[in-house]
Amino acid sequence: MITRLLTGLTFLFVLRAVEANTEKVIFLAPSRSSLPASLVNINSNSGANALSPEQLIIRSSVPVAFPTVQNPRGLEYWYLLRHLNPEQRYEVRVCWAASQPTEFWLNVFGIDQVPTSLLSALGSAQLDSDHSGKTKSDQPTESVLALRIQAAADFFSSNQTLMQHPPPVDVDIILDPYLLNVFPASLSPTALYISVLAVVGYFVSGVLWRYLSPSAEVYKLRKD
């Protein structure tokens, strides 16, 4: 019975794994800090490049390239992770169809580790020229990180067109807060399912035990 349950579970997980490929990064949100000047105005154009508790998923089609000596990880993309809860654990996943073989690398960086030029491109916000005049207290603070995604095509085809222009890959980029810093929130239905199975399994094993116990007693007698 237990073996059958386990086989069933394994099958379910394998099934999930076959549907899509996933690459992920797990991190703790940093404490609040004042935003770099280049990001102060970013709210005005709630960028398509930002994930936050209000925007947990970005669905996108990203161009990819084959690895080269200069860019062994193909092309790279930057996103902002905004309005995070300081000290909370999160994961970011990239999911893509198995039919589009691609290798992804995900990294998160503190906002102060990211070159300013890149940040302003991300926010497409003008540099606030008189930010130096502001006191620290009226600068907005928030827990924010930068996410780097690198994507390299990972297939071989005898079709030269495909090899020279690998087609863009459809991806879901998902921000997933952990519950109690233990479970990804999106996993909780699965966790619930497994818990229910465990409880049912416990009672079923009790019934089975009673059903089998006559023979267990025989065994005991023989042993004595």
Ligand X SMILES: *[C@@H]1O[C@H](CO)[C@@H](O)[C@H](O)[C@H]1NC(C)=O
Burial of 126 (0-12, 13-18, 19+ CB in 10 A): exposed
Q: Which residue is nearest to ligand X (CB)?
A: 159
First to last CA, the chain: 29
Alpha carbon distance 224, 219 (integer Å):
9
Nearest in space to 83 (alpha carbons), one of 42, 118, 119: 42
- Of 17 and 97, nearer to ligand X (C-beta) is 97
Among 70, 113, 159, 215, binds ligand X (CB under 6 A): 159
Q: What is the largest CA-CA distance in the chain?
A: 91
- Which string of x and - marks every residue 197-216 that binds ligand X (by CB under 6 A)? --------------------
- Which string of x and - marks every residue 181-200 that binds ligand X (by CB under 6 A)? --------------------
* Closest distance to ligand X from the beta carbon of 63 (Å): 15
Contact between 162 and ligand X per CB under 6 A: yes
Under rule CB under 6 A, how many of the chain's residues touch ligand X?
3
* Closest distance to ligand X from the beta carbon of 158 (Å): 8
**CB neighbour list of residue 75: distance below 8 Å, 6 or more residues apart:** 62, 63, 64, 65, 150, 151, 152
- Which string of x and - marks every residue 6-45 that binds ligand X (by CB under 6 A)? ----------------------------------------
Instruction: For the chain, give the number of residues.
Output: 224
Residues binding ligand X (CB under 6 A): 159, 161-162
